[in-house]
Amino acid sequence: HGVDAWLQETAQPDRPNVIGRVSGGPGPTLMLNAHLDTVGVGGMDDPFTPRIDAGRIHGRGAVDTKGGLAALMAATVRAAAAVDGTVLFTGVADEEHGSVGSEAVAVEFTADA
């Protein structure tokens, strides 16, 4: 699809970021960012068992940014055919604890928007 993709190491072992980039020549860089993780399990009763209430699933990470991540990845792929500039997708790790994923992105990448 014209998207270069790779894992970016962070300060947290085994918690890489997922990076995707579409380059369409000179022009501005747009960064699309969302986090990949969910809240930790500390203090939760049975954190890996979802509960259904009134037809809705409730549980750790049942919603979070899954839809947003899918939309941003699709937008990055679609941009491959139409972009003047660069679209940078950054799926960052560790948003719920120390934001080491966001820190790694901030060190390595810049964007105009």
Q: Which pLDDT score, from 0 to 100, does residue 1 have?
A: 62
Helix, strand and coil in the chain, % to nearest 5 = 20, 30, 50
| Catalytic (active-site) positions | 37, 95
- pLDDT band of residue 24 (cuts 50, 70, 90) is confident
Whether residue 80 has pLDDT greater than 80: no
Entry pTM: 0.83
Examine residue 86 and state whether it is found in any structural domain, yes or no: yes
Least confident of 5-19, 37-51, 97-111: 37-51
Alpha helices (runs of H) in the chain, residue ranges in sequence order: 66-79, 100-108
Q: What is the mean pLDDT of residues 60-64?
A: 80
**What is the count of structural domains for the chain?**
1
Of residues 62 and 9, more confidently modeled: 9
Examine residue 44 and state whether it is found in any structural domain, yes or no: no
Domain residue limits at 27: 4-37+52-108
